[in-house]
Structure 1
Amino acid sequence: MGDCTAQCLHRRAPTEGGAIVEDFTIIHDEGILEVLWRPGIGIGPGELDVLANTITHFPRWHASPVLVHLNLVRHITPPARKMLVAYHHAGPIGLTGSDPVDRVLAAFIAQSRSRTRYFTESAEARAWLSLIGVTAGRPVPAPAR
């Protein structure tokens, strides 16, 4: 993600050989915080701590809808899974993926107290997040009879 038309933050970390790689990119576009992990990353508590500290740089981050792409994540460690289950985000969280491994990862994350839903298509996730994000924090009118 070299070119960002929306506000972006990149988390860079040195590899064992000293090269700098991006662990993730966060894009803030149309009110949604979108997290794109580095292909093949293993997520542990350290990566989650850095993500949590980085995401606070965005306005209203605590209630913003979040879209997390799981399809490039290699694994999430058991301690990181515990952290994800314990986390409560005020805004909705959409998870996208494309295979059974992504579904398993999403199932662990969906156990959290956050309003979380899994999608196979990013467009569907964005539509849901936009709808839920607009109504979050205020009552939704009952449908007319």
Structure 2
Amino acid sequence: MTSTANDDVIVTVVDDIILLKWTEGITITEDAARTAAAFVNRISADRRRPMIVDMTRTAAVTRQARTVFLEPGAASRIALLGTSPVDRVIANFVLGVSNLPCPTRFFTSETAARSWLRGVVSA
């Protein structure tokens, strides 16, 4: 397992999936988003990989941060993971950004997120 972190985010690679976990209660700013993207690109070692973004209890995502999410990076597919209706609303703001650089979906189950990232289709 490889990992990198700061006070806002932890990024690891486990079983060839990037796991990005935001600190609970964070407002994701442009600077935080750029730092996380740099961590993801560095830890991925020039390979595109599927990624789970655990955004559980994220407070908000700024407009400037959402523009960072438009930039292509190491993620080949992104599963946004949350547990509450508020997480879903915040995810919908991210998903509402046009032209995301890779397929991106919201999940409340890590198992379902991993299946989707691996290309396993469930009924």
Instruction: Specify if TM > 0.5.
Output: yes
| Residue 68 in structure 1 maps to residue 53 in structure 2 | yes
Q: State the Cα distance separating 1:8 from its structure 2 match.
A: 1.4
Larger Cα-atom Rg:
1
Measured after TM superposition, the shift of residue 109 of structure 1 is 2.2
CA distance in 2, matches of 1:56, 1:113: 14
1:9 to 4, 9, 17: 4
TM-score (norm 1): 0.71
Percent identical: 27
Give runs of aligned pairs for residues 51-66 of structure 1, distance below 5 A. 51-60=36-45, 63-66=48-51
**Matches of 1:82 and 1:33, distance apart in 2:** 21
CA contact (8 A) 1:55 1:61 kept: no
CA RMSD of aligned residues (A): 1.9
Aligned length: 116
What does the per-residue CA deviation read over 1:42-95, in whole Å, with 9 as the maximum and x for residues that have no partner?
1010001111121222234551101001113111112112332x2335501001
Does structure 1 residue 91 correspond to structure 2 residue 76? yes
Q: What secondary structure is seen at the aligned counterpart in 2 of 1:34?
A: strand
Tell which has more relative contact order, 1 or 2 (C-alpha 8 A, sep 6+). 2
Contact 2:3 2:43 in 1 (8 A): no
Gaps of 5+ in 1: 1-5, 12-21, 133-145
SS at match of 2:8: strand
Compute the TM-score of the two structures, normalised by the length of structure 2.
Answer: 0.83
Distance 1:130 1:61, change over 3 A: farther
Counterpart for residue 123 of structure 1: 111
